[in-house]
A and B are shown apart, each in its own frame.
Chain A
Amino acid sequence: MSIDRVSDRELVERARGGDAAAFGELVERHQQAVVRAALAVLGDPADAEDVAQDAFVLAFRRLESFRGDASFKTWVLTIAWHEALNRRRSLVRRLARLVRLDDLVDPPAARAHDVILERTEHASHIRRLVRALPRRYRDALLLAATGECTVEDMAAVLGVPAGTVKWRVHRARAMLRAQLRELGYEA
């Protein structure tokens, strides 16, 4: 039987039995979702790839502890998410020594007004507003934006109920809309 048609669960069993190709197939199947989830946290593609790689290696080492309660994808997404959060904490600590954290998290309104005057800067301005959102809302919003996860996957990754995930995404969008209207955007 072609390995393409084998289920994740079967591949996990084969990988536990020492089949490296089976684990390689699991990596290939889910690497994009894992990298995009890490990208949602970190915002840097290179960092996201590093974290995804670490997450797969960690998953491989912990393969014996995978019980199969959730899907392999959800499991490895959760590992990658926590790895990315750890990386982000260390990055923030490093950056805080170089620049004022206020500029990074909450750009001054005056500067935002200047930026919005230039049409070509709109995208970067919205990006800044997204980054300035509280983490719990921003993470849920960006994870949903990957389009790789169901609400149940996101709930497992974030460790909150599915209803909370929906609320956070909705709330994040509402905050962004309100801020953009304040800054001159018209519906």
Chain B
Amino acid sequence: MTRDSGLGQSTPVDQDPIDAAIDAVLADMVSLARPVDLRARVLDRAGGPSRNAESGARTPLWRRPGSPGVGGRPAGIAGLGFKIAAAAAAVLVAALAWNRSAREPRRPENAAEQTAQVQPVQGSRPRAQVHGSTGARSTLDQGTSNLEPATRTRNLEPRTVNRDPLVSAAALELANQIPPLDTPQLDVPVLEPIVPLATADLSIAPIEIAPLDVDRSSIQ
């Protein structure tokens, strides 16, 4: 004798219909609609165990042919990550190389650049390096640069002011207007003091202050 459990299934009368309904639903929730066959998929992904033919040692799975990114198989996420890392490293190296080449003085390659160079003015000291934005070594740093003669020599070389010929020419013109340090800048006549300082009377006479003659009664 059976009873309807409420789920369209018949259950023995001695079973609580609520329990029967629960069992039916639970069985349905974990039942497989179709047969499962994972064997081929698993073995295809795992690649199968293999041994090194010469040493007999097991080859790590990630190095076996058939593993992602190995032996012609399309690279998976790991291969993609490696490519991204390699590309980032290449960009970083290129950026460093470009930055280094921008900081180093270029050798003049044509006549325009040769005319754009600042020539040291006669009688003056070599021009100090422009530091800061260019990232060049400071003068303090140069004191410790004895171990790098090439760098020190390079810093004393005339430098290209600007690679733009027009701007460089303007800068050259301005630079040529700067007089040498050991020549007087202006032709100012030297004036002799009227009274020699040694003989001048620097004493100050006492000042007498007369009392104010104010009619206090007029101030209200």
Interface residues of B in 1-47 (CB under 8 A from A): 6-7, 16-19, 21-33, 36-39, 41-43, 45-46
Contact A123 B7 (CB under 8 A): yes
Point out the residue from A53, A123, A126 that lies within 8 Å of B42, measured CB to CB.
A53
Would A141 and B26 count as touching, CB distance under 8 A? yes
Residue B48, interface by CB 8 Å: yes
Given known contacts A35-B32, A185-B18, is B43 in contact with A23 (CB within 8 Å)? yes
Interface of A is mostly: helix
Q: How far, in whole Å, are A160 and B43 apart by their CA atoms in the complex?
A: 32
Bound Cα distance A132, B29 (Å) = 14
Is B50 an interface residue when CB atoms closer than 8 A count as contact?
yes
Across-interface contacts of B25 in A (CB, < 8 A): 123, 126-127, 130
A53 touches B49 (CB 8 A): no
Chain B residues with Cβ below 8 Å from A123 are 7, 21, 24-25, 28
- The answer to the question of A20 belonging to the interface, with a C-beta cut-off of 8 Å to chain B, is yes
Q: Are B18 and A177 in contact (CB under 8 A)?
A: yes
Complex Cα spacing A162 to B173, Å:
94
Compute how far the CA of A123 lies from the CA of B50 in the bound complex, rounded to whole angstroms: 49
Is B63 among interface residues, defined by CB-CB distance under 8 A? no
Q: Are A142 and B29 in contact (CB under 8 A)?
A: yes
- Are A57 and B45 touching (Cβ within 8 A)? yes
Question: A142's closest neighbor in chain B, by CB?
Answer: B30
Cβ of A27 and Cβ of B42 under 8 Å apart? yes
The binding surface of chain B is classed by DSSP as helix
Closest to A56 in B: B42
How many angstroms from the CA of A176 to the CA of B16 in the assembled complex? 13
Tell me, rounded to whole Å, the shortest Cβ–Cβ distance linking B22 to chain A. 5
Question: Which of the segments A36-44, A65-73, A82-90, A95-103 contacts the partner chain?
Answer: A36-44
Q: Mark A30-54, 1 if CB is under 8 A from B, else 0.
A: 0110011001100101000100110
**Given that A20-B43, A61-B46, A126-B21 are known contacts, is A32 also in contact with B36, CB under 8 Å in the complex?**
yes
- List the B side residues contacting A185 at CB < 8 Å: 6, 17-18, 21
Q: How large is the interface on B (under 10, 10 to 19, 20 to 34, 35 or more residues)?
A: 20 to 34
The residue on B at minimum CB distance from A52 is B38
Specify which of B6, B18, B23, B37 lies most central, judged by the most chain A CB atoms within 10 Å of its CB.
B18
Residues on the A chain within 8 Å of B48, using CB: 18, 20, 23
Is B61 located at the chain interface by the 8 A CB criterion?
yes
Q: Which residue of A lies closest to B41 (CB)?
A: A53
Residues of chain A within 8 A (CB-CB) of B27 are 145
A88 to B92, CA, bound (A): 39
| Interface flag for B106 (CB, 8 Å) | no
Question: What's the Cα separation between A186 and B6 when bound, in Å?
Answer: 10
Would you call A16 an interface residue if the criterion is a C-beta within 8 Å of the partner chain's C-beta atoms? yes
Contact of B45 among A53, A127, A177 (CB under 8 A): A53
Q: Specify which chain B residues have a CB less than 8 angstroms from the CB of A49 in the assembled complex.
A: 36, 38
Give 13 pairs: A residue, B residue, CB < 8 Å, sorted on A: A17-B49, A20-B46, A27-B38, A27-B42, A35-B32, A52-B38, A60-B42, A63-B49, A126-B21, A130-B26, A142-B29, A145-B29, A187-B17
The residues of B with any CB-CB pair to A shorter than 8 Å are: 6-7, 16-19, 21-33, 36-39, 41-43, 45-46, 48-51, 58, 61
| 6 closest cross-chain pairs (CB), A and B | A20-B48, A145-B26, A18-B49, A56-B42, A126-B25, A60-B46
